[in-house]
Structure 1
Amino acid sequence: MALSVHSILGQYAIGHPVVATLVTIAFLMGTTFLTIREIFKPAGKRGAPKGPKGIPIFGSLLDLKSARHDPDHKMIRDLARYGEMTTVHLGSKTWIFLNNKRVVAEIIAKRGSITNGRSPMPVASGIVSRYGRSLLLPPSGWTEKRRVMHSLLSGTALKQYAGWQELESTQLLAEYLNYPKLWYRHHYRYANSVVHRIALGERLVKTGKELADLQDVVTYFVGSIGSSLVDWFPELDALPRFLQLWRKHWEKLGNWNYEVYRSWWDPVRQQIDAGIAPPSFVRDVLLHESTKFTGDDQEAMYVAMQLIEAGSDTTREALNIFVMAALCHPEVYQKARKEVDRICASDSEDIRLPSIMDMEQMPYICALIKEVLRWRPIFPLTPDHVLTTDMEFEGYHFPPGVGFVINGIPVCKDCEEPDAFKPERWLDGHETDVAHDLWQFGGGRRICVGYRLAQRGLFINIARLVMCYDYSAAGPYDSRRLNHHRTDEPFPVNVKIRSEEHARLITEEATRAGVLEAVMGLNNV
C-alpha cells in the first residue's frame, strides 16, 4: 500500500532532524510574518492611486522618517510625480497625498463632512497630550472644542482683538527702533503677547524661562508626532501595559507638558473664580456659563493653551519669511510701500501708522501676505483628514480609515511661475480672504479656527514694517533656509529706520499707547 504524504514526511523528519527543525522554524516565521502583515494591513490597499511600493509591513515609513529632517523636502516633492494623488502606506495607515489645489478643494473642502476625521495617535495625541489637543482628535473628541473655539472667527471677536493686535504691533515697531539687531525676537514677542492677551486676558509678563518652556512644549509636541512606531501601528496600544515599554519615556514628556500648562493656566483660573479676571477668550467664552462647555477643567486648559501654542509660533515664522522676501525681492517691497504711503502718508504733515481698518484699501499688502505663505510654506504637510465613511471619487473607492494629506510643497507650486515671488497672482478679488485658494491653514471643517485673526496680525505688522523700515542682507544667506528652529538670528539682516520722521512717529505712538517704558527696559536686550 502506498504511504501517505504525511507518513513520508514523518519518516524523513526522523532521519533528518536538523532539516526538519529548520523547516519548522521557517514555517513558523512565515506564519508569524503573514499574521503580523494581516494585523497591520493598511486600509484601502486595493484600487488606490499609484504610489511607492515601500517594504512589507512598514511601507514607506522609514523614508518618511528620513524626510522629516530634509530641508529641501525631496521625498514629498517626488510624490507629486505619481499624479494628482499618491498612495503611501505608512505602517498600518494609508495616506493619500493630495498634490494639487483641485483635488484638495474636491476632497478636503467639498467633502469635508466625511473627511474630518483623524487617525489614532496613541503617543502624540494620547500620552503626550492627554487627548487634550483637538488638532489630533477624531470628531468625537474634537467637535465640542471646535464649537467653543469657533467664536474666534466671529466679527465681534475680531473687532475686540484688533485693538490688542495694534497695541502689540506698536510695541514691536518701537522694539525694532531701539533693538534692530533683535528683529527676530520681536516677532516672537509680538506673536506670543497677542495670543496670550486674547486667550488669557493679560499682557504678557512671563519670565524668559517660562517663555522658553512654552516654546519647548511646542517643539517637543510637534517632534512627538509620528516619532513613535506606536503612532503608525496604533494596534500596539492594545497590548498589556507591562509590554508597552515605550510608555515611560513619553509619559515623562506628557507630565512635563502638563505642568508647564498648569503654571500658565492656574493663575488665570483663580482670577476668574475670584471675579477679578480681565476680558479674555477664557473668561468670556470658554468658561462663561452661557457657552455651556461640557469639558472638565483639564480639557478647558488644553483648549486655551493650544491656542497660545498655535497662534504664537506660526505668526513668528510668517514674519520671518516676510523679512526673507524683503531681502530677495526689494522691488516687491517698494511696490508694497507705495500702496501703504498712498493711504497713510499722502499728506506729509498728516502721516500715520496703518491700522487694521485699512485692510480693504490695501489689496497689495493682503496679496503679499498670501504670497509669503505660498512662497515658503510653513507646513509642508497637514495632519491627515481621515474618511469616516466610504467615498467614491473619480473612479476610486476609498474605505473608512483612509487619510488624505495636503501635500503643501507641490500644492503651493500649483500655479504659473511657481518659483517667482509675485503677490500679483493673488489680486483676484479675494485678497482679504487669506484662506481662499491657499491651503496653509488647512481646509474643510478642520481649517485653523484662528486664520482670520492670524491674517489681521500679519497685515498690521507687515503694513507697518513696510512703511517704516528697510531691510538689507548682513551676510550670505540661502532663501530656502529659514532656520525657524534657531533661537539666535536665523539669517543675517540689517534693519534700518526709514527716516527720522518715521522714528518720531513710532516713538509718539508707543508713548501714546503706553508701551515705550516696556520697550526701553533691559528685558528686551
Structure 2
Amino acid sequence: MGAPILVYALCAAVLFEAIRRLSRIGRRPADFPPGPPTLPILGNIHQLPTSQGHLQFQKWAQEYGPVYSLILGTQVLIVLSNDVAIKELLDKRGGIHSDRLEMYIGQTLCSGGYRFLMLGYGDNWRMFRRLGHQLLNVQSSKAYVPYQILESKQLLREILDRPDLILESLRRYSNSLSTHMIYGWRTVRHDDPRLLQVFKGFSDVGKITQTGASAFLDFFPILRWLPEFMTPMKRQAKELHKKEMDMYLNLWLEAKQSYKSGTYKDCICVSLAQQQEKNGFTDEQAAYVAGSFLEAGSDTTSSTLYGFIQAMILFPEVQRKAQEEIDRVIGSDRLPTLDDEDSLPYIRGCVKESLRWMPTALLAGVPHASNREDEYLGYRIPAGAGLVNNVYTIHMDPQRYPDPRTFKPERFEGDMASAADSALNPDPSQRDHYVFGSGRRICLGIHVAERSLFIAISRMLWAFDFLPELDSAGKPILPDPNKLTEGLSVLPEKFGVQIIPRDEARARRIIDESMGVVMQ
C-alpha cells in the first residue's frame, strides 16, 4: 500500500507545482517596472493593438512613465521611452542588453536562424558585426560616395521623366546604391524583379511577425508543437524563407564566383568571401548577412525620403527656406555635392528633422534583450527580458522637441554633429534622433544612410518644387501625416504630389548630368 500512496503524493506534488507555475504566467512581479493591468496567463497580450501600435506605446508611456513593462505570456518587455534610459541601459550597459529575444516565426522559421538583424549576441554576431564595421565605418564608407552621386543623377532624371513614380524611384535609388555596395552591380530599373522581391519579402516578414498568432507562438513556446493545420502561419513562414533563401543565396554565390574567377568589382561580398576563407562560415550565413545589409540599405533611406517629400507638401515655408539657402550657396549652374554640406546647415537640419519627424522604425525595429538580470531605478530587469527603444514616443516628446508634429529644421540650428557622433554624445539630451538604434546594435550603415539622405534631399530641392495635388475645385489635397503603413519599418501611406522642375535650365542640367548614366 505504501508504494501507491507515494506515487499519488508525488503526482499531487507535481500537479501542485505545475498549477503554481502556471498561475504565475501573465502576472507582473512587484519589483518590475509599472505597466497596464494584467490578466492571468495572457498578461497584456490582449491589450496589444493590431495596428498603429506606436500610439498605444506612447499612451502607456504617458500613463506609466518613461520606463514601463508589458507582460506578454511568458515574455517580459521593458519599454524605454526617454533619452536617459536609452543612454544608461542600451549604451552604457550594452554588454548586458545587446542580445535578441527568441523570435520563433521571424528568425527561426522566416529566416532559418540566419537574419543578422535578429541574430543573438554571440560569436557569429560579433564576427559579422566586426566585418560590417570595417566596411561601413566613417572612413571606409567614403568609398561609396561616387555610387551615391551616380544614383542621385538617375534619381533626378527619373523624377523629371515620371514624377508619378516618385516612391518607385526613391526605392530604386536606395536599392541600387545597396546592390552596388554589396554585390558590385546596379539596379537600373524600378521594376527589377529582385528589387520588388526585397521590398515585398521584408514587408511580408514584418507583417507575419506582427500577427497575433505569431505572437502567441513567441510568448507561449509550448504552442509551437501544434500541427501546421492548426498554425498555418508556420507554413507561410517556411515558404517565405524558401523564397528569400533562394534569392539571397543566388546573389551571394554569383558574387562569390566573380571573386574566385577574378572578374569581381570591389564590394562587400568580396570582403565577405575573403573572411569566409579564414573563418569557415557557411554560404547560407554569408547570403543572409549580405541580404540583411541589402534590406537595411534599401528600406530606411527610401522611406525617409518619401516622408520628407510629404513634409515639403505640408510645410511649404520649409521648402522655400531650404531652396533659398541652396540658391544662395549653389546657384542654378551645378548640383549640390557632399563638399557643400558645411555650407548648407538648413539642409542638414532637414535631414535630421526628416529622421525625427517621420521615423521609419517607430519602435527601433527588433527589441534588444538582457543576457542577465539587471536593476534600474529600483526596478528589476530579469534575464531574457526584451528592451524596446520607444522611438516614436521620444521623438514626439514636447519637452524634448516643442511642437513635435511640426516639421522644423531650425531645431538643429548649430548642430553639425553626424548622427553617429550624436549617438556617442555622453549627454543624451543632445542626441538628434533614435532611428538608427542604440548601443552595440546601432545601424552599421548610419554613415552611408546619412550621406544618401543629404545628397538626395539637397539635389531634389535644387531641382524641383513639391506641391500638393488639387481636387476638381482647385483646392489642395493634403496628405495625413499620421497615416502610416504597418510592419517592422514604416512609411507614409501613398499620397498624391505634383513635382515640377524649378526652371528650364535646371531641367536641362538634369538631362545633361544623366547622359552618362546607364538607365536601362
Change (3 A) 1:484 1:499: farther
Tell me how far 1:390 sits from its aligned partner. Answer: 2.6
* 1:161 equivalent in structure 2: 144
Which of 28, 43, 56 is 1:75 aligned to? 56
- Answer yes or no: is 1:455 the counterpart of 2:457: no
- Answer yes or no: is 1:324 the counterpart of 2:310: yes
Change (3 A) 1:242 1:219: closer
Q: Which amino acid in 2 is paired with 1:279? A: D
Structure 1: 5+ residue stretches without partners: 1-26
Change (3 A) 1:472 1:45: same
Change (3 A) 1:294 1:115: farther
Q: Which amino acid in 1 is paired with 2:241? A: G
Change (3 A) 1:217 1:154: same
* 1:16 equivalent in structure 2: none
- 1:191·1:311 contact (CA, 8 Å) conserved in 2? yes
- 1:117·1:139 contact (CA, 8 Å) conserved in 2? yes
* 1:46 equivalent in structure 2: 30
> What secondary structure does 1:139 align onto?
coil
* 1:225 equivalent in structure 2: 209
Which of 311, 315, 330 is 2:297 aligned to? 311
Change (3 A) 1:181 1:41: closer
For 2:31 and 2:14, the matched residues in 1 are separated by 31
* TM-score, with structure 2 as normaliser: 0.85
Between 209-218 and 85-94, report the one with greater CA deviation.
Answer: 209-218
* TM-score, with structure 1 as normaliser: 0.84
Tell me how far 1:487 sits from its aligned partner. Answer: 12
For 2:407 and 2:306, the matched residues in 1 are separated by 15
Which of 183, 192, 208 is 2:175 aligned to? 192
Q: Deviations over 1:317-362 (max 9, x none)?
A: 10110101100111111211222223211xx6xx211112222222
Q: Deviations over 1:154-184 (max 9, x none)?
A: 2442221000011000100111111122112
For 2:343 and 2:221, the matched residues in 1 are separated by 50
Q: Which amino acid in 2 is paired with 1:62? A: H
Q: Which amino acid in 1 is paired with 2:468? A: A
Tell me how far 1:507 sits from its aligned partner. Answer: 1.4
* 1:375 equivalent in structure 2: 357
For 1:487 and 1:406, the matched residues in 2 are separated by 18
For 2:65 and 2:240, the matched residues in 1 are separated by 39
Change (3 A) 1:461 1:205: closer
Q: Which amino acid in 2 is paired with 1:60? A: N
* 2:93 equivalent in structure 1: 111
- Answer yes or no: is 1:137 the counterpart of 2:114: no
Change (3 A) 1:472 1:117: same
For 1:99 and 1:289, the matched residues in 2 are separated by 39
- 1:90·1:232 contact (CA, 8 Å) conserved in 2? yes
For 2:229 and 2:167, the matched residues in 1 are separated by 46
Percent identity for Structure 1 against Structure 2: 31
Q: Deviations over 1:84-140 (max 9, x none)?
A: 111111121111111122211222122222110111112211111111112112111
- 2:110·2:205 contact (CA, 8 Å) conserved in 1? yes
> What secondary structure does 2:363 align onto?
coil
* 2:5 equivalent in structure 1: none
> What secondary structure does 2:100 align onto?
coil
For 2:106 and 2:133, the matched residues in 1 are separated by 24
Tell me how far 1:221 sits from its aligned partner. Answer: 1.5
* 1:292 equivalent in structure 2: 278
- Answer yes or no: is 1:90 the counterpart of 2:92: no
* 1:252 equivalent in structure 2: 239
Change (3 A) 1:420 1:249: closer
* 2:460 equivalent in structure 1: 465
* 1:275 equivalent in structure 2: 262
* 2:426 equivalent in structure 1: none
For 2:315 and 2:102, the matched residues in 1 are separated by 43
Q: Which amino acid in 2 is paired with 1:208? A: D
- 1:188·1:313 contact (CA, 8 Å) conserved in 2? yes
> What secondary structure does 2:451 align onto?
helix
- 1:112·1:445 contact (CA, 8 Å) conserved in 2? yes
- 2:304·2:360 contact (CA, 8 Å) conserved in 1? yes
Tell me how far 1:30 sits from its aligned partner. Answer: 9.2
- 1:180·1:495 contact (CA, 8 Å) conserved in 2? yes
- Any residues of structure 2 matched to 1:344-383 within 5 Å, and which? 344-345=330-331, 351-382=333-364, 383=366
- 1:124·1:231 contact (CA, 8 Å) conserved in 2? no
- 2:101·2:384 contact (CA, 8 Å) conserved in 1? yes
Change (3 A) 1:481 1:200: same
For 2:153 and 2:231, the matched residues in 1 are separated by 51
Q: Which amino acid in 2 is paired with 1:505? A: R
* 1:510 equivalent in structure 2: 514
Change (3 A) 1:169 1:242: closer
* 1:446 equivalent in structure 2: 441
- 1:168·1:190 contact (CA, 8 Å) conserved in 2? yes
> What secondary structure does 1:287 align onto?
helix
For 1:33 and 1:256, the matched residues in 2 are separated by 43
Tell me how far 1:243 sits from its aligned partner. Answer: 11
- Answer yes or no: is 1:151 the counterpart of 2:113: no
- How many residues are paired up? 479
Tell me how far 1:256 sits from its aligned partner. Answer: 2.1
Q: Which amino acid in 2 is paired with 1:358? A: D
Tell me how far 1:428 sits from its aligned partner. Answer: 4.1
* 2:483 equivalent in structure 1: 481
For 1:422 and 1:133, the matched residues in 2 are separated by 36
- 1:375·1:412 contact (CA, 8 Å) conserved in 2? yes
* 1:173 equivalent in structure 2: 156
Q: Which amino acid in 2 is paired with 1:393? A: Y
Tell me how far 1:289 sits from its aligned partner. Answer: 4.8
Q: Which amino acid in 2 is paired with 1:466? A: L
Q: Which amino acid in 2 is paired with 1:452? A: H
- 1:93·1:402 contact (CA, 8 Å) conserved in 2? yes
* 2:102 equivalent in structure 1: 120
> What secondary structure does 1:49 align onto?
coil
Q: Which amino acid in 1 is paired with 2:134? A: S
Between 154-163 and 300-309, report the one with greater CA deviation.
Answer: 154-163
Between 287-296 and 417-426, report the one with greater CA deviation.
Answer: 287-296
- 2:32·2:380 contact (CA, 8 Å) conserved in 1? yes
- 1:108·1:443 contact (CA, 8 Å) conserved in 2? yes
> What secondary structure does 1:419 align onto?
coil
Q: Which amino acid in 1 is paired with 2:483? A: R
Q: Which amino acid in 2 is paired with 1:172? A: L
- 1:61·1:90 contact (CA, 8 Å) conserved in 2? yes
Between 172-181 and 258-267, report the one with greater CA deviation.
Answer: 258-267
